[in-house]
Amino acid sequence: MSTIKKHTLDPKKWVDNYSDYLFNYTISRINDHDLAKDLVQDTFLASLKAMENFKGEASERTWLISILKRKIIDQYRKSNSKKGQAEVRMNFYEDGENSGKWIEERAPSDWGNLGEKEIENE
């Protein structure tokens, strides 16, 4: 029978033992120092709340990294959802090959009657 060592948590040592590692991991994925610090702090808080779910099958560092990964993914989802809200869709042409809805910032500019106006100006 093999004995598998169960890992234990020691939250009092997390900051000293893992904060630099977690910060470096985060900054390599999110190029923002302040946001990286916030995500590491959020990781520690979430870990404290989830301590009862720790089964001891992974090391503390591995467990903390898995929580941090979810925090980073959530941050990307949050920032991308804000981008989606800023998009304004508009009708550009009512008929023809350019018919359809366009994201406002990507819609072709309306040339209107530019050619006719130039002829009138002459």
Distance separating alpha carbons of residues 10 and 8, to the nearest angstrom? 7
121 in a domain, yes or no? no
As for how many domains the chain has, the answer is: 1
3-class SS of residue 101? strand
* 38 found inside a domain: yes
Q: Identify whether 78 is part of a domain.
A: yes
Answer whether residue 81 is part of any domain.
Answer: yes
The amino acid sitting at 104 is E
**107 inside domain:** no
By C-alpha distance, which of 30, 34, 111 is closest to 69? 30
Give the domain CATH number at 25. 1.10.1740
Tell me if 102 is assigned to some domain.
no
Residue 43 belongs to some domain of the structure: yes
Tens digit of each residue's pLDDT, the chain (122 residues): 456 778 888 999 999 999 999 999 999 999 899 999 999 999 999 999 999 988 888 899 999 999 999 999 999 888 877 665 555 454 555 555 655 555 555 555 555 666 666 666 66
Domain of residue 81 covers 11-86
